[in-house]
Structure 1
């Protein structure tokens, strides 16, 4: 059976999951919900990786972290996610130098229910594909990208698309923030 990927125009699924938000003892975990995000009135960028303690994943997570302020400046909440548990996330953050100072939550979808609803669960190992969702403040999916397990994504492209969506105008190919938009 092939996955049906939740796509543009769909409402992002409701969820309530534990996320790792710190490596400070006693302050590691936070219960994050779609309702809280919707009530924030902000955009959401949620990116998924297959497994903790792997090779491509930390390069992406570190790159998103380097641009965390860029997302915040665009009124967007950045969330990383995988099907690993919050305890594995916390251990990985403590263990990996590039992940210790993360400025965004690492969502733990241990039941795999959210990944399944999104249609991004790889069929053999039941891990998430490298998926990225941009969701508007009303909870509607405005952009989805999906990569094979072996290929890392471009954080700059995610920012470019977020910029384009936030103009609420027509943006031509290779458009960059500050460039002219199109008129119909």
Structure 2
């Protein structure tokens, strides 16, 4: 069953952000657009490249009202150690949530039960706490923050413009579509 158009389930966790440990709950994902990025584990190979890419584009996400949260089943202590020892991870300013209880990974149906690790998954959540986008890739396939930013902008546009949809490769400012009986068979 897809999580699209479902409400984020309750959770409470500890995250590492900007030199501090903070509490993060499902309520923090509401009232603004949020991106939750799951990755298998700290101190790995593809994960730091993705998180560094997000860190380098973080200000662009913030400018459009989006908060990013990274999540793995590691502890917040592990996140701090990784942040303090990796140049790539040291760039991160968004919350790095620890999920050692596996609650969040189970809530988002991204947990590999037999390994205690999360799959590589991305969730875009609207201000009402409803999941609008889900993307899951295999462990060896890294994500692109630029493409994610484009998708978030498309989701925001569609939410703000009922009756319009964004076609493939849509970028901010480009033409959208208004589905109607007159449009059937004309694309």
With normalisation by structure 1, the TM-score equals 0.90
Runs of 4+ off more than 6 Å: none
For the residue of structure 1 that corresponds to 2:67, the secondary structure is: strand
How many Å separate the matches in 1 of 2:135 and 2:26? Answer: 20
Matches for 1:11-22 after TM superposition, within 5 Å: 11-22=7-18
Which residue of 2 is the match for residue 47 of structure 1? Answer: 37
How many Å separate the matches in 1 of 2:46 and 2:71? Answer: 14
Which residue of 2 is the match for residue 101 of structure 1? Answer: 91
Alignment RMSD (CA, Å): 1.2
The alignment covers a number of residue pairs equal to: 174
- When Rg is computed on C-alpha atoms for both structures, the one with the higher figure is 2
* Structure 1: stretches of 5+ with no match in the other structure: none
How many Å separate the matches in 1 of 2:7 and 2:156? Answer: 18
With normalisation by structure 2, the TM-score equals 0.89
- Compute the displacement of 1:124 (Å): 3.1
For the residue of structure 1 that corresponds to 2:117, the secondary structure is: coil
For the residue of structure 2 that corresponds to 1:67, the secondary structure is: helix
Q: Residue 154 of structure 2 is aligned with which of 150, 164, 174?
A: 164
Which residue of 1 is the match for residue 111 of structure 2? Answer: 121
* Structure 2: stretches of 5+ with no match in the other structure: 159-163, 180-187
How many Å separate the matches in 1 of 2:149 and 2:28? Answer: 23
Which residue of 1 is the match for residue 29 of structure 2? Answer: 37
- Compute the displacement of 1:58 (Å): 0.2
How many Å separate the matches in 2 of 1:56 and 1:84? Answer: 16
Q: Residue 83 of structure 1 is aligned with which of 52, 57, 73?
A: 73
- Compute the displacement of 1:114 (Å): 1.1
Superimposed CA distance per residue, residues 65-93 of structure 1 (whole angstroms, 9 cap, x where no aligned partner): 01101110111111111000011110000
For the residue of structure 2 that corresponds to 1:100, the secondary structure is: helix
For the residue of structure 2 that corresponds to 1:97, the secondary structure is: coil
